[in-house]
Structure 1
Amino acid sequence: MKIQYHIAILVLTISCGHGSKTKKKPEIETQGAVEIIETALDTLPKSVHLDFAEVIANSQTKKLPHIEDTNFDSFIDEDDYDEVDAKALKLDQIYPDFNSEGHNYRAITIYKIPVNTNFHTIVTTIQHGDHEMETIIINYDTEGNIIDHKQVAFDEIAEGMSRTVSRISESKLTVNKIFWGNTKEVEEIEYEIRGNGTIEKVSVKRLNDSFKNFALIDGVLTDLNLDWVQTKTDLITTLETPDNPNESIVVIPEVVDEGEQYFDLNSHIVIADNRSGKIMNKYFESHQTNQWISDAIELNEIQIAPNLLEITENKVAFGLYVSYFGHSRVNPYQNKTLSLFMKSKDSLIKVLANYTVAMNRGEWDEDCDGRFKDEEKAVVMSTKKTNDHFDILINNKITETKMFKDNDGECQTEKFFHVKNNVLKFNGSTYTEHDSGAILFSEYDPEKLEGIHIDRFDVDHAYQLEAFKIAAGNYKPENGRTVAPDTETDWGDRLLMLDASNKIVYRSKGIGDAYLFEPHFYKSNASDKVIIICQMAFEYPFGGEAFILENGTLKSIGTLDIEPYDENLDNYLTDVLEINEIEGSLVFALKSEEVILKPGSEDTLKTNKNVIYVYQNNELALKQIRNEF
């Protein structure tokens, strides 16, 4: 017997190999595996039939979640086979021809899994003839009657073109049906295992159609020695690297634990070659430290930031956002974290870990009374460095909302906005948060001047700033014609600065004819700068021209092409603007719930997820935050 068995093993080694079947090819010979199964089955003892309770008691228990991928390659040794009492399991109710001569059904493995205490769950593998085997999950009531069943694994060696594998959890069954034709196809079927033992189909999707770069992800999974069924496919995400079109960032969440309304995920984050799928750089982190855990607070989205952050002169980092959502109505909760990764040889290094960039939380009575706090953080690179890495500026817009009933029983809402600034500094291995030392510029009213005369210039507003005069207005045309200093491209309302002798020492470019061009002034005791914002408006406001006065020199820094939005147009830009200087960068934030970008032209309405302007390196730029940097 031992000689026969070892000959069979040798045949299998030559023809099939011992590895698990990840990519099947039709030409593979499998006769050796079949001989081993037949030999092993012949040697199983012919015992008396057991009752159902004895079968349950004697069956091995496997922990959940469990990956079920039984196939012909699973049977190498004689002890890979179980004695299965098909009669006690009532397999003839699932396979009516199970006991019929010539159909060659044989149950060859069995184990139980702790899905639910209300019923028993058995997983058994059935070989049908010499070329097919399938594994099924069966739920039984306490008396041994079949409630429901589903196929969880399948293998065939006649053509070697298809296979089924699955992930079994306490309340969920995920089945992958794999087909190798001209290209690989994977159909994912999700079932709910209900408390009464029934197994109901929830969703079906073809993964090769759901992911436009399916082949790339499949190659990465192969390189990581993972199957699709081991992953949380709805959270897989990819992005072509912005600095190299030949590579992509691929994020693979591997399921470690899973149950009713919870899961734990390991994180595999890689940069892979787009053509070959070969992993060039990779990062792994366990669910024990990565915070990829979903329970009462659901992990509902993973996103790759579309832009890179330049953290040194020659190193960039990409960002990964992870979003969480709480389903409580009385205690609503949302959170979004940012992690940053950079290349290091063939690895990736995590230089910022799970930093909260957005949080919304509160409590209310589901009627009216409630309090809510929302935080939206803007992430901007600084021009200053710590340990040879650029600091990261954090501008946090905080909105506090109070809802209450007035004396008439009507529900009212009050909103309060404020801004907090921090800086992330590199400590040699990772970025950590520090106080920003931000300089706040507050609006003030300089001395107004009346009756100031400037040749051919209509003065609408004039102010005394130390030794200088600031005037806003426009040059008068002559006989309806534009004359110098106006030109066809430089005319209308503008800002002038005059010295003590009333000589014009600065003239801004004209903005055209506006209903309003009014200077607003901002200063801080901690700075020598004076910031001037000229509010512009027709019948509606359309942003502000920004200037800096420092050391006797006035210069334009650009246009704040933004306005707060409210239906009554009660607030203009200068009513809600907060200006801070952080590490030499000027940050312009709006304390409002919604904003209009490019007012008067495109009028793009956006929820204010902390849309800010930043002035650094002599450039004023709009920063639309969170998913963009």
Structure 2
Amino acid sequence: MRKSIRNFFKIISLNFFISGVAYAGFCDDSNVITKILKQAKIAKVEQSLLDCKLDPVDDSRMIMAYASWLSVKGHPEEGDYALDLIQFNPHNLKVVDHYRVADRLVSDAISLDSITLDTANYKVTELNRALGLRLNYSGHSQPNPFSMQLLNLYDLKSKKQILDSLVVTRDRAETDMHCNADAEERASTLVMQRSQTKKYTDILVNSKIKRYQTQVISEECQEVNQQFSQQRFTLKFDGNQYQIPKNFKDEYQY
């Protein structure tokens, strides 16, 4: 009996994997993108960011994240991105649901370079699984290189954002533009907990931090003075969104 159950779940996982492979690169087709956006009443723009993934809850659907640039009037280089999350049937390209996110995606001195849908199992309630979106940013200062990745979570059923701009990775340095530098790398993982706050699952954030310097040693640029540490805190739902504890807010919310 147990073996049959295991085989059943293996078949489901395999089918899901095969479906994912079949639709890989699906949204690289400009005709597909245009048809989907037209149904969602979105004008396709040249400066946009896009990602598509198979819906982890319903593999008969795909999800498209489309961020379109909205510039400030008279200043085309200034603005931000409007985000649309669109669910559609990949067989007939019919849109089945559309969520136009109210909050904009900021892109300023630290520019938004790409977006990636995150379909990990963010099961925030017994009957609801949130959708993640990772936002990849980079700075353009050569003496102070900087990059980071933010994570947003969205409740597609209620059409609301429930986690805003959590910094999950960050790399930064101060350098002489040759070899000498003081650098820091931080990477965080999220773990769903058994505990709940206001009927939403608590989320543990576990961060690993590496600090080091680079120097020329034996004519090679090498890392020295490495230091490793960890930080942990829990995101709790306040009835509207997940909140980052005050002690970590400045470092972990953009």
TM-score by length of 2: 0.76
**Deviation per residue, 1:302-338 (Å, 9 max, x gap):** 0001323111111101100000011222100001100
Distance in 2, matches of 1:236 and 1:243, equals: 20
Quick one: structure 1 residues 273 and 348, their matched pair in 2 at CA, closer, same or farther if it must change by over 3 Å? farther
- 1:570-601 per-residue CA deviation (whole Å, 9 max, x = no partner) reads xxxxxxxxxxxxxxxxxxxxxxxxxxxxxxxx
Q: Residue 369 of structure 1: CA displacement?
A: 2.6
Aligned to 2:50: 236
Shift of 1:435: 7.9
Q: Distance in 2 between matches of 1:411 and 1:214?
A: 44
**How far 1:280 sits from its partner (Å)?**
1.6
Larger % of helix: which?
2
CA change 1:396–1:282 in 2 (3 A) is same
CA RMSD of aligned residues (A): 2.8
Residue 119 (structure 2) pairs with residue 284 (structure 1): no
Letter paired with 2:97: M
What is the distance in 2 between the residues matched to 1:211 and 1:291?
21
Q: Distance in 1 between matches of 2:47 and 2:121?
A: 26
Structure 2 contact 64–86 (Cα < 8 Å) conserved: yes
Q: How does 1:199-598 map onto structure 2 within 5 Å? A: 211-212=27-28, 214=30, 216-228=32-44, 230=45, 232-233=47-48, 235-257=49-71, 263-274=79-90, 275-285=92-102, 289-293=103-107, 295-344=108-157, 348-404=159-215, 413-434=224-245
The question of whether the paired residues in 1 share the 8 Å contact of 2:40 and 2:95 is answered with no
Matched positions, count: 219
1:394 maps to a residue whose letter is: V
CA distance in 2, matches of 1:338, 1:282: 18
| Aligned-pair identity (%) | 22
Looking at structure 1, the residues matched to 171 and 198 of structure 2 have their Cα atoms a distance apart, in angstroms, of: 33
**Alpha-carbon distance change, 273 to 265 in structure 1, aligned in 2, over 3 angstroms:** same
Residue identity in the other structure for 1:416:
Q
1:274-313 C-alpha deviation (Å, 9 max, x unpaired): 334224241322xxx43332x4322111000132311111
Which stretches in structure 2 are left out of the alignment for 5+ residues?
1-24, 248-254
Cα contact 1:358–1:377 (8 A) shared by 2: yes
Match of 1:359, SS state, is: strand
**Structure 1 alignment gaps of length 5 or more:** 1-208, 437-629
The alignment's TM-score, normalised by the length of structure 1, stands at 0.32
Residue number in structure 2 paired with 1:504: none
AA partner of residue 291 (structure 1): L
- Alpha-carbon offset, residue 227 of structure 1: 2.5
Q: What residue identity is the alignment partner of 2:176?
A: D
AA of the residue aligned to 1:422: F
SS of equivalent residue, structure 2 residue 35? helix
SS at match of 2:36: helix
Larger Cα Rg: Structure 1 or Structure 2? 1
Q: 1:264 to 1:343 in 2, by over 3 A?
A: closer
Using CA pairs below 8 Å that are at least 6 residues apart, which structure has the higher relative contact order?
2
